[in-house]
């Protein structure tokens, strides 16, 4: 029995959207993190953070840390009238392609800005921010 064309099209679209959701560039992970944090969306922000090579206890501590960081970033963004944009200042991928160091500028709606640096690692699902 051959699957119907609408069903096949649906699954193809799902696959395309799943691949598009992966962070193909290191900068994409940082931008997605800050946009999620602005809205207080811990789940979406956490999806941009690396939990690789952690045992259960470390993973739980990192999840709690992400919640705190998201709350702090959300407060910072709100105090500055919202986030106008995330601007990439520098992006360096390691020679083997497994890691990156990026520098971004958060530009707020009140005209102020703040520069942040992040280390990232490439994982199967895309680039992920490595929190200290």
Q: pLDDT tens-digit profile of 2-53?
A: 554 544 444 433 333 333 344 589 999 999 999 999 999 999 999 999 999 8
Which residues have C-beta within 8 Å of that of residue 132, sequence separation ≥ 6? none
Q: Determine the pLDDT at residue 23.
A: 56
* 99 φ/ψ angles, rounded to the nearest 5 degrees: -145, 170
CA-CA-CA-CA dihedral for 109, 20, 28, 74, to nearest 10: 50
81 vs 10, more confident: 81
This prediction has a pTM of 0.79
1 vs 50, more confident: 50
Q: How confident is the model at residue 131 (pLDDT cuts 50, 70, 90)?
A: confident
């Amino acid at each position: 029995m051959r699957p119907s064309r609408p069903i096949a099209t649906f699954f193809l679209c799902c696959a395309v959207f799943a691949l598009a959701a992966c962070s193909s560039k290191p900068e994409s992970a940082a931008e997605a993190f800050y946009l999620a944090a602005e809205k207080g969306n811990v789940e979406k922000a956490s999806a941009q953070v690396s939990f690789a090579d952690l045992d259960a206890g470390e993973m739980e501590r990192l999840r709690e840390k992400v919640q705190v960081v998201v709350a702090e970033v959300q407060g910072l963004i709100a105090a500055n009238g919202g986030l106008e944009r995330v601007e990439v200042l520098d992006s360096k991928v390691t020679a083997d392609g497994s890691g990156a160091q990026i520098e971004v500028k958060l530009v707020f709606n009140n005209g102020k800005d703040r520069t942040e640096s992040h280390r990232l690692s490439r994982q199967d699902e895309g680039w992920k921010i490595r929190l200290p």
